[in-house]
Amino acid sequence: MAVILTNTSVSPGIFKMTVEFTGDVKPGQFFMLRAWDKDPLLSRPISVHDYTPGKLTFLYQVVGKGTEILARLQTGDDVTIQGPYGNGFPKITEDLCVVGGGIGTAPLYYLVRNYKAENPTGKCRVYLGFRDTPYGVEAFEALADEVVLDVGGIITHKLSVTPDETVVTCGPEIMMESVAKTVSAENTVYVSLEAHMACGIGACLGCTCETKSGNKKVCKDGPVFLREEVFYV
């Protein structure tokens, strides 16, 4: 159980929730959240948007009954959180290029902030694509060396990657597949997958995905994979 510090709307249908939490949290990991008893049945997997000791932040989209309940919670309310789960993003020492689409931008902020803290001389470029109203752009601009924004178009059409960059992408599968298949094979590319989850620890097999080396669980083996594992490039 965690106490909610803030839970506010940042854009139509998009909420940012910060709760009390202290632990070891890596960029790219996620938590299972619930604030109800039996209905809906399952907790909701939500990626970590940011973390500092004592404060854990989620950026989430209201898409159904569970997230509608979460969006109604207020400061001082309790929410059940389990985690962190998943393998998260690996430690990156090369220059970094991140490509996010829609709510897929959520886990990339903590990655960028952590990267810049650990690599103060490293270069980080960010591509953000939104179908309509953008959100969180200013936060990335405060950290990254360059931010490229696209609203209503296709962000990958603007993507240009240098040979010394590691690429990380999260968002709609069609966008991630485009990144995986267009970026040079010389670059390392990581993709963060999304899947329906029941347990978050790999016990239920509900989030199984196909990979080059056989079926794997997004929650336990992922959600971060090398592009060649899941898109067979």
Q: Can you give the residue ranges of every domain in the chain?
A: 2-84, 95-230
Mean pLDDT of 69-96: 96
CATH of domain 2-84: 2.40.30.10
Residue 213: predicted pLDDT:
67
Give yes or no for a contact between 209 and 195, defined as CB atoms under 8 angstroms apart: yes
Q: Looking at the predicted structure, is the pLDDT value of residue 105 above 70?
A: yes
Distances (CA, A) of 145 to 43, 112, 198, 225: 37, 11, 38, 25
Q: pLDDT tens digit string along 152-182?
A: 999 999 999 999 999 999 999 999 999 999 9
Which CATH architecture is the domain 95-230 placed in? Answer: 3-Layer(aba) Sandwich (3.40)
- Tell me the pTM: 0.93
For 72-97, give one letter per residue: b (16+ CB within 10 A) or e: ebeeeeebebebbbbebbeebeebbb
Residue 93: predicted pLDDT:
94
Mean pLDDT of 99-125: 97
Residue 196: predicted pLDDT:
60
Residue 207: predicted pLDDT:
72
